Amino acid sequence: MSVFEMRVALATEEFDRLVTFYRDGLGLDPGDMWTDNGRGQILNAGQSVLEILDTEHVASVDQIEVGRRVSGQIRFAFQVPDVPVAVENALKYGATLVHEPILTPWNDLNARVESPDGLQITLFQVASTSLG
């Protein structure tokens, strides 16, 4: 058996606000939209990966990125080409800054924001693009 695609579905009472935040604030590419029996919007985020982390590792990442434990059960992480620009844009569209960009021990540039609906989001720039 193979899985061809992974989707995360967010339920919200603030549909327009969240679509605008993820589409314009984080730069996800809009796909199909439907309006029958309510509204739905596909937003493509490049390659999807599911990370399963034990609570010790979650606490470690939170400590590195934020300085304290803040994540809930789900935290999004989006690889971006320029973390400072991505943070600025996310804030413009309703995110709250949790922590400024920081160079991680694995040499990536990571920043933490909270989405308008309260989800923790790591914006990261991989080492090969964060130092050059």
Tokens standing for 28?
């996800």
Tell me the domains of the chain and their CATH numbers. Answer: 48-130 (3.10.180.10)
CA distance 75 to 67: 16
CA distance 125 to 81: 6
Residue 24 contacts residue 129 (beta carbons within 8 Å): no
Mind listing the pLDDT tens digit for each residue in 82-115?
999 999 999 999 999 999 999 999 999 999 999 9
Backbone angles phi, psi at 114, to 5 degrees: -115, 130
pLDDT at 5: 87
Q: Above 60 in pLDDT, residue 57?
A: yes
Question: Beta partners for 41?
Answer: 33
